[in-house]
């Protein structure tokens, strides 16, 4: 199907494309096979200097393998990786100006905090005075000044993770690679560390490539998110772009929640708009989100809407819909109070089950006073219709 053609050159963020500066990391048509498994499949990606990148995708989609190839622990089966513009095939990890923080960071139990942090510098034969100065700076950065003589096993999980971070930052790498570094921490601590890591990245200005399977984490921290599935880049963009304009069904389901309605293209309009007839018989006008695809009449697509773009109106007697609005009658199946929001699940004939989210603000909102079993109308503006091809 011609509609699924993907333009690989768009996997370059605005700054990398515009500035004429050399990317910190360039991955050029890289494939990595482990026997019959293709872990990374023809990946092309440029990582611009000083930005926070996340590789986001489900378990097994090739995130760690990508990171290990950048670090030099794995060699690509095909394609090439460039660091600061130079090809690095055959360059061993310790000669690359990148460092890695793993989820299961191994601190040396027989060394104190400062000795752990200075380990890499000693390996490189740095003078004692320089080691002490750099270790001090690195511990400052991760807010552990004064902890130098502590034993690592006396520290909390969060503090140990910061020691691992300081150890990776101590020799000023150009790029820091982080592989699910907060995975072992509990939720509250993880949230704190997310904000700290983001602040730290801003402060040191080092390029971060952060691997996570947690979409919320990626949205919180990243300048650029690279969404991966089955070893392939699905979409690259800022958090808002990915949420507002997911280019396919995978991205729209992986980032946030959406209401998918399968159908076929009936008309193609201007500015990448189209009219879709859904399998259940709704005619919906919307925007084709992927600028790189041009579906023909009859192409199978999915129309997706975000739950917060939908409203629930009680009963049947009500104002008629304004031009461009869509009304779908249904019945409340479930209402869940979520603190800041209320989520309604509405059973409809025309659109299947629709998830609607209402912000709980004093005295306003839709769906006031409706509960399970009540007849309602779900209304939204066609601007909310995202047409996803593939």
Instruction: CB nearer to ligand ADP: give 36 or 339.
Output: 36
CB 250 within 8 A of CB 303: no
For residue 165, the partner it binds in ligand ADP, Mg ion, none, with Cβ less than 5 to 8 A by kind, is none
Return the structure tokens found at 342.
């209320």
For 314, counting Cβ atoms within 10 Å of its Cβ (0-12 exposed, 13-18 middle, 19+ buried), the class is middle
For residue 356, the partner it binds in Mg ion, ligand ADP, none, with Cβ less than 5 to 8 A by kind, is none
CB of 35 to ligand ADP, least distance (A): 7
Q: By CB under 5 A, how many residues form the interface with Mg ion?
A: 1
Residues from 313 through 332 that contact Mg ion (CB under 5 A): none
CB of 63 to ligand ADP, least distance (A): 3
For residue 37, the partner it binds in Mg ion, ligand ADP, none, with Cβ less than 5 to 8 A by kind, is ligand ADP
Instruction: CB nearer to Mg ion: give 105 or 147.
Output: 105
Instruction: Tell me if residue 263 falls in helix, strand or coil.
Output: strand
Instruction: CB nearer to ligand ADP: give 39 or 107.
Output: 39
| Sequence-distant (≥ 6) Cβ neighbours of residue 331 within 8 angstroms | 346, 347, 348, 373, 374, 375, 376
For residue 65, the partner it binds in ligand ADP, Mg ion, none, with Cβ less than 5 to 8 A by kind, is ligand ADP
Residues from 46 through 65 that contact Mg ion (CB under 5 A): 64
Instruction: Tell me if residue 256 falls in helix, strand or coil.
Output: coil
Instruction: Tell me if residue 302 falls in helix, strand or coil.
Output: strand
At what angle are helices 157-169 and 187-204 packed, to 10 degrees?
Answer: 20
Contact set with ligand ADP (CB under 6 A): 34, 37, 39, 57, 59-65
At what angle are helices 128-141 and 187-204 packed, to 10 degrees?
Answer: 120
Instruction: CB nearer to Mg ion: give 217 or 290.
Output: 217
For residue 62, the partner it binds in Mg ion, ligand ADP, none, with Cβ less than 5 to 8 A by kind, is ligand ADP
**Residue 100 burial (CB count, 10 A):** 24
Binding interface with Mg ion (CB under 5 A): 64
């Amino acid at each position: 199907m011609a509609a699924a053609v993907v333009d690989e050159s768009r996997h370059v963020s605005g700054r990398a494309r515009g500035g004429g500066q050399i990317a910190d990391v360039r991955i050029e048509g890289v494939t990595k096979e482990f026997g019959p498994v293709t872990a990374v499949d023809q990946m092309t990606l440029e990582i611009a200097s000083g930005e926070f990148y996340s590789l986001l995708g489900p378990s097994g989609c090739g995130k760690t393998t990508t990171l290990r190839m950048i670090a030099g622990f794995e060699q690509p089966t095909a394609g090439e990786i460039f660091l600061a513009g130079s090809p690095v095939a055959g360059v061993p990890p310790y000669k690359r100006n990148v460092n890695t923080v793993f989820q299961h960071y191994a601190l040396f139990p027989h060394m104190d905090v400062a000795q752990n942090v200075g380990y890499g510098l000693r390996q490189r034969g740095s003078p004692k005075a320089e080691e002490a100065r750099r270790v001090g700076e690195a511990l400052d950065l991760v807010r552990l000044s004064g902890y130098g003589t502590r034993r690592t096993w006396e520290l909390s999980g969060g503090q140990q993770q910061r020691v691992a971070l300081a150890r990776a930052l101590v020799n000023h790498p150009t790029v820091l690679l982080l592989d699910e570094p907060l995975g072992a921490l509990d939720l509250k601590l993880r949230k704190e560390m997310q904000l700290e890591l983001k602040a730290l990245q801003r402060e040191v200005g080092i390029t971060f490539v952060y691997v996570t399977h947690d979409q919320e984490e990626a949205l919180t921290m990243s300048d650029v998110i690279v969404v991966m599935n089955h070893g392939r880049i699905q979409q690259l963009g800022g958090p808002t772009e990915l949420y507002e304009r997911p280019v396919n069904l995978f991205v729209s389901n992986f980032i946030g929640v959406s209401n998918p309605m399968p159908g076929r293209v009936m008309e193609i309009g201007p500015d990448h708009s189209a009219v879709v007839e859904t399998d259940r018989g709704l005619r919906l006008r919307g925007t084709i989100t992927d600028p790189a695809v041009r579906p023909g009449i009859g192409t199978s697509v999915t129309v997706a809407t975000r739950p917060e773009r939908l409203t629930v109106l009680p009963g049947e007697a009500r104002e008629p819909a304004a031009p461009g609005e869509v009304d779908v009658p249904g019945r409340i199946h479930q209402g869940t109070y979520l603190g800041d929001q209320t989520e309604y699940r509405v059973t409809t004939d025309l659109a299947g089950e629709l998830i609607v989210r209402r912000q709980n603000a004093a005295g306003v909102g839709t769906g006031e006073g409706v509960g399970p079993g009540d007849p309602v109308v779900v209304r939204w503006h066609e601007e909310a219709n995202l047409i996803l091809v593939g």
